[in-house]
Amino acid sequence: MRSPPLEAREAYALWAETYPAVAHNPLMRVEQAIVEPLLAQIRATRALDVGTGSGRYVPLLQATDAGVVLGLDFSLEMLARGSGRSRVCGDARRLPFRRASFDLINASLMVGDIADIGAWTTEMARVLSTGGHLVYSDFHPSWVQRGWSRTFRSADGDLHEIAFHAHAIDDHLAALERAGFHIRAIREPRFGSHTDDAVPGIRAFRRRWGNPQVVVVFHAVKEP
């Protein structure tokens, strides 16, 4: 019998060793295929990667020509996997920055670790300047509808489950609107359209589940 799901801090401390700073599974590849071109069209001067983990998005934010790029995470173990000096240990729910400190925030696959999506979105708006961009992704509501769990293998080969907070699309939209964002784009990609269908795991997945949306990506702009 599998142990109960681990809470985020404990899980990422265990996961960090096997969490490289690149898209290392099909879900991340599908997500990055959407997020990367969104980021590439934004010109920013100060960019923040919230829940940066091992820093997968730091080079992509640097490519926006932003003079300042910081990656923030509450897991020292995950931060230790990254490189460069632009890493900050902190909690996304109470960011250690003044209001309007950034004009671009990216947050990839981390809001599933946040219970209160409304408070999180308000905190992102606080540190963004007017006209600033928020680009973030989350596990698609498909996960809950189909009863999927989030799992990973630690360096010793053990399989672990990590708890996550499911957010409905309507909850994201309501939180963004309440925090003063204009929603510019929503994408709900599926496997297959952006990944190589020859990947064995994807084939097995599609045989069992068909072709559901697996991730949701939002691009929102802070309104005046």
Q: Which residue is nearest to ligand SAM (CB)?
A: 53
* 132 touches ligand SAM by CB under 6 A: no
As measured in angstroms, the least distance from the Cβ of 128 to ligand SAM is 17
51 binds ligand SAM, rule: CB under 6 A: yes
- Looking at residues 160 to 219 of the shown chain, list those that interact with ligand SAM (rule: CB under 6 A): none
For residue 72, give every residue at least 6 positions away whose Cβ sits within 8 Å of its Cβ, in sequence order, or none. 48, 49, 50, 51, 52, 87, 88, 89, 90, 92, 95, 96
Could you tell me which stretch among 47-55, 123-131, 178-186, 199-207 binds ligand SAM (CB under 6 A)?
Answer: 47-55
Q: Please report whether residue 8 would count as binding ligand SAM according to CB under 6 A.
A: yes
53 binds ligand SAM (CB under 6 A): yes
- Report the residue from 7, 36, 65, 91 that binds ligand SAM according to the rule CB under 6 A: 91
Asked if residue 74 binds ligand SAM (CB under 6 A), the reply is yes
Per the CB < 8 A criterion, the answer to whether 125 and 222 are in contact is: yes
Query: Is 82 an interacting residue with respect to ligand SAM (CB under 6 A)?
Result: no
CA distances from 217 to 6, 28, 158 (A): 25, 12, 30
Is 110 a binding residue for ligand SAM by CB under 6 A? The answer is yes
Please give the backbone phi and psi of residue 60, each rounded to the nearest 5 degrees, phi first.
-70, -35
Nearest approach in angstroms of CB 14 to ligand SAM is: 11
In angstroms, the CA 58 to CA 76 distance is 16
> How many Cβ atoms from other residues are within 10 Å of residue 139's Cβ?
21
Q: Is 121 among the residues that bind ligand SAM (CB under 6 A)? A: no
Q: Looking at the DSSP assignment, which residues form a beta bridge with residue 152? A: 160
Three-state secondary structure call for residue 142: helix
User: Taking CB under 6 A as the rule, does residue 116 contact ligand SAM?
Assistant: no
First vs last Cα of the chain: how many Å apart? 53
Residue 115 CB, shortest distance to ligand SAM, in Å, is: 10
Report in angstroms how near the CB of residue 89 gets to ligand SAM at its nearest: 8
Give residues with Cβ within 8 angstroms of 2, minimum separation 6. Answer: 159, 161
Kind of pairing between the strands at 128-139 and 215-222: antiparallel
What number of chain residues touch ligand SAM (CB under 6 A)?
17
| Chain residues that interact with ligand SAM, rule: CB under 6 A | 8, 12, 51-53, 56, 73-75, 78, 91-93, 108-110, 113
